[in-house]
Amino acid sequence: MPRQPLAPVALLAALAACSSAPKPDPMHHDPDPVVTADAAAPAPSPYDAARAEVTRLTAEADRDPLLAAWTGAYGGVPPWDQLDAGKFGAAFTTGIALRAAEIDAIAEDPTPPTFANTLVPYEAAGRHLDRAETLFSVMTSSLNAPEVQAVDREWSPKLAAAADAISFNSKLFARIAAVYDGRADAGLDAEQRRLVELTYDAFVRAGARLDAAQKDQLGQLNQELAVLFTDFGNKVLADENTWIVLDKGDLAGLPETLRASYAAAAAERGLAGKWAVVNTRSSVDPFLTTSSRRDLRERVWKAFKNRGDNGDANDTNQTIARIVELRAQRAKLLGYASHAHWRMSNTMALDPAKAQALMMEVWPAAVARVEEEVADMQKVANKEKAKITIEPWDYLYYAEKVRKARYDLDQDQLKPYFQLDNMIAGAFWMAEQLYGLGFTEITGTVPVFHPDVRVWKVEDKATGAFVGLFYGDYFARAGKRSGAWASTYQGHETYTGTVQTVITSNNNNFVRGAAGAPVLISLDDAQTLFHEFGHALHGLLSEVTYPGLRSTPRDFVEYPSQVHEMWVLTRPILDRFCKHVDTGKTMPQKLIDKVEKAKKFNEGYATVEYLSAAIVDMALHTLPDGKIDPDAFERETMEKIGAPPQVAMRHRLPQFNHLFTSDAYSAGYYSYLWSEVMDADTRQAFEEAGDVFDKATAAKLRKYILAPGNSTDRAEAYRQFRGRDPDVDALLAKRGFPVKTIRVEQRRTDKPKPKGK
C-alpha cells in the first residue's frame, strides 16, 4: 500500500523551520503605502506560493472523509462507513493537488538541502492521498462492482501520472541527490543513511536521471500500463464470478460439509435447490479432490484453468502481450537488459540468473517426484479398472486415494478438526507464545467495509501497550478477488515524535458452510491462514522510524509469512485448537502420527505447480523486446523445461494476477522459493533449540527479521539471526527431495547499474 507519511501540519513546521524569510516587527508601523498600478505587491516566491497552496489544500482535504486524518478510538480507524465510489474522483483530485504542492514546497526551498529539510518532508508528503488510495484499494479488491471499475479505469492512469511527476521533478531530485552525495559527512545515523540511499535509488530506478523527452516517453508507458493492469484484473474477476451448477445426481463422492457449502453458494446466487461450484480455487480444489464424477472434474478443472482464456470479452491474452511489450520498452529506456533485470535490481537475488539457478536446482527433483506420484496414481486407477490415463483433473482425486492407501489418511478425516474460528484463535495463541501479543475482539465497535469483517485490538501482554488493530475478512463472495492476501492500512512510524500504530488485515476466500454451522477448512487452508497472519505479524511487530523503510525486498517479504505456517502442525496448536467439530475431542495421537508421516506427500505436485509458474514468469520477463503470443509462449516454455503434462501451472498466464495487475510480483514469483530457503532454515533453528516455541529463538527472529522492516540490509539481518547464510539443504529436506549442497549467496558487489551517473 502507499506510504503513510507525516501530517501536513508537521510538514509545514518542517518547511517553516528551514525558511530564511524575515519576520515582521510587530512594534514597527510603516506609513500607509500609496497603491498605484506600478506599485503592486510583488509576487510571492515559488517556495512561499507552494506553502500557501499546501495550507489552502490541506484545509480542503481535511473536510473530505476519504482524505482526512482517521478519527475515533484506538488513535483513529479507517472510515469504512464513508466508502462511496462516486466520491473518490473529487478526493483524488484534491489529494493529487495537495501532494504536488507539498512536493513543490520541498523542491523550491531556498535553503541548502539537508536530511531535515528534504528527506523528512518528502517522507511526509502525500498522507492525505495515501489514505484515499488505501480506502479505494479495498473497494477494488474486496468490494468490486461496475461503478468501482469505472473509477479505477479513469483514475489509474491519472494516479500513475501524478506519481511520475514526483519521480521526474528535477529540482526535487537535485536536492535528494545532494543529500545522498553528502551523506557520509552529514552526521546521519545508520537508519537515516539507509533511507537516503534507498530513496535516491528509487528515484533513479523510476527515471529521475532521464532527459525530458525520455521522461515523457516513460510517463506514457506507465500510464498505459496502469490502464492495462486494471483491465486485466477486471477481466479475471469477471471470469471468477461464474459458477457451474450441479444437480443432486452430480454430487457423487462429495462429503456432506462440501455439499452444504455448494448449496449455500447456489442459494446466494438465487439457485435454491441446486449446488454451485464457484470458479475460485477455494471452491474448485475440494471438488477436484473428492468428486467421483470424472466428466465433471474435467469440466470444473477446465473452467478454472481457462479463466481469461476463452476468446470472449474477458480474454486477457492481448492485454498480457501489450503489458509485456511495454515493460520491455520501459526497461530498455531505463538502461536495463530486460524487465526482470530492472525489477530485481533492488532485491536480494539482484539479477535473474541467480533466481533461475535456484529454481532449476530444485526443478529436476520435483519433476522426478511427480513421475513417481503419477505412477502410484495410475496403479490405483488400473486396480479399479478405471481404464484411464491420469490427466490434470484426475491428480488431486487419485492423490487422495494414494494417501488413503499409503497412510490410512484422507482429507475427510482431518477437516472436522479444523474449524475456522479455532484456527484463528490458534494463530493468536501462537503470536502470544512467540511475541507476547494479545488479541481482543472488538467487532461492532468500529466501522467495517463488509458485514463479514471482524476486528481485534492487539496489545503487548506484558505491558498492556496498544500495538494496533487486526481486521479479518475470511469468506468468498461476489466482487472479491480470489486467493488470499494481507493488507496494511496504516504502518508503524515514530519519526514525528509520536508512535503511529499499525492497522492491518488478512483476506481469505474460505467457503461458508450451512447457515449457523461451524466453518470447516482444510489443512492447506489452515496453513494459508497462518501464512497471511505471518504477513500481519510482520507489520504489527514493526519498529521502523520512517515510512520509507517499511517495505522489504520482494524476495524477502514472503519469508516472515511462510515461516509461520510451520506452527499449524505443532503439537501445542493441535492439542489446544484442533478439536473435532462434533465430539470436541482433541486430534488423537494416531491421527497426528499419520499427518506427520504424510507431511511430504504430494510435494512433487505442489512444487512443480508453483515452479512452472515461476519459471514461465522469469522467462517471459527476461525477453529483451517482450514481443510474445502468451498462449504459445506458455506452452513452448513448459515443453522446453519438460513440465509433466499432468500438472498445470498454479497460475496460467491468462489469470496470473500476481504478474499483470501491477508490477509488484512481475519477475518476482520466484520470491516464494527464495524466501522458503530462509523459512526452512529458520524451522531448523527452532528444531535445534528443541522447542518450537523457544523464547530465545523467537526473540532473535523478532529483533533481526520482523521488527526492522528494511532499516537494515536483509541479508545481513539473516546472518545476525542465524549466524550464517541460509542453506538450501533445509528446503530440499522440508520438501522431501534428495539433499544437495547448495548455498544461496545473498549479495553481490557488481550490482547492475542503469544509465547515467
Three-state DSSP state, 456: strand
Angle of the 671-689 helix axis to the 352-383 helix axis, nearest 10: 80
> Contact at 8 Å (CB) between 622 and 584?
no
Which residue from 509, 580, 511 is spatially nearest to 254, judged by alpha carbons?
511
211 burial (CB, 10 Å; 0-12 / 13-18 / 19+) is exposed
**What are the grid coordinates assigned to 95, written together?**
489529494
Q: How many residues does the chain have?
A: 757
Residue 169 CA to residue 118 CA, distance in Å, equals 13
Known catalytic residue at 636 = no
**What are the grid coordinates assigned to 113, written together?**
538541502
Angle of the 352-383 helix axis to the 603-621 helix axis, nearest 10: 140
> Contact at 8 Å (CB) between 7 and 71?
no
Which residue from 170, 181, 224, 177 is spatially nearest to 199, judged by alpha carbons?
177
Which residue from 59, 57, 60, 66 is spatially nearest to 85, judged by alpha carbons?
66
> Contact at 8 Å (CB) between 78 and 134?
yes
Tell me the one-letter amino acid at 169.
Answer: N
Three-state DSSP state, 114: coil
Residue 407 CA to residue 601 CA, distance in Å, equals 10
Q: How far is CA 462 from CA 37, 197, 247, in A?
A: 71, 37, 55
Q: DSSP letter for 119, please.
A: I
For residue 558, how many other CB atoms are within 10 A of its CB? 23
**What are the grid coordinates assigned to 739, written together?**
539433499
Active-site option among 123, 532, 558, 565:
532
- Return all residues near 445 (Cβ < 8 A) that are at least 6 apart: 73, 455
* Active-site residue set: 532
